[in-house]
Structure 1
Amino acid sequence: MTRILATVEQTRDFGMALASVLRAGDLVVLTGPLGAGKTALAQGVGAGLHVTGNVTSPTFVIARVHRPDANRGGTLPMVHVDAYRLGNVRDPMGEVDALDLDATLEDSVTLVEWGEGLVEQLSDAHLEVRLDRRDDDSRVVALIPRGGDWPTRAASLTA
């Protein structure tokens, strides 16, 4: 299940579409090289979930919680994690455990940039969103459903 996104704005728009199928307890793992659009996609998800605050890369704080903005129709918090720096520590799995993501997972939508190989154990089912940037600055987004009803929900986004 892939789609071509010609601009950063289309990447954000795709994030908004993804938000429409998300619910409490969902884990979304965003993978791809630097500059592929992971944060832009997370910004779109945040906009679609109507969360408070600007969604920016949490590279230095590692995790940021965005509360729902009830005045705009938001109902779900979004936990946005950037695990990039965790790849350079002695015990990355221990660092993930220290973030206590499982404490918020059930009630939130959790998006993890650079989380491949680190966070999948948090949930029996998750969606991997793989982003690649092409030479013309467009992005290729691939949805890889991992269990649960993700195959059906992912298919609705690429139809």
Structure 2
Amino acid sequence: MTVELAREPDTLEFGERLGAGLRAGDLVLLAGPLGAGKTVLARGIAAGMGVTGQVTSPTFVIARVHRPAAGGGPALVHVDAYRLTGLDEIDDLDLDTDLTDAAVVVEWGEGVAEHLSDEYLVLRITRRDDDVREITFEPHGERWQRWVAAQPALG
């Protein structure tokens, strides 16, 4: 399934809808080239989870934990795996432990973070020449297959 998002606010809104349904143990991998909109999508996810404050790419710190302002939902662990060189480095972050009480969103996570859970969602983002973002869903595991199947016409 693929959705087209014409403007940055559409990407934020889509992320909010996704984030509102995330629960502890969820793993979402954001894939796409530089400038595709991974961090914009992560900001929307954070907003949907009730996180307030600035959400930026954790490129230099690798991972940031954001807690919802209302305190009722799971934390968001936002990871940027761009500078990681292998599975050992992602394992050193202990993200599998974070999955017990947080939702984990990993930018550049393909090839390094899939092993953290049997169930995860890859959101493959491309940015066309007209600035429209296309997000393709790649669900892994029953939870995410059900989630994708339950989505009405997205976008």
Q: Into which bin does the TM-score normalised by the smaller protein fall?
A: over 0.9
1:112-151 correspondence to structure 2 within 5 Å: 112-151=106-145
1:56 and 2:50 are equivalent in the alignment: no
- The list of structure 1 runs, each at least 4 consecutive aligned residues, that deviate by more than 3 angstroms after superposition, is none
TM-score (norm 2): 0.94
Call closer, same or farther: CA 1:81–1:96 in 2, change over 3 Å. same
1:1-159 correspondence to structure 2 within 5 Å: 1-70=1-70, 74-86=72-84, 89=85, 92-159=86-153
Unaligned runs of 5+ in 2: none
- Secondary structure (helix, strand or coil) at the match of 1:132 reads strand
Call closer, same or farther: CA 1:111–1:132 in 2, change over 3 Å. same
- Secondary structure (helix, strand or coil) at the match of 2:83 reads helix
Q: Which has the higher helix share?
A: 1
TM-score (norm 1): 0.92
1:103-140 Cα deviation digits (max 9, x unpaired): 11121110000000101110010000000000001100
State the shift of 1:68 in Å. 1.6
Within 2, Cα distance between the matches of 1:154 and 1:38?
19
- Number of residue pairs the alignment of both structures matches: 153
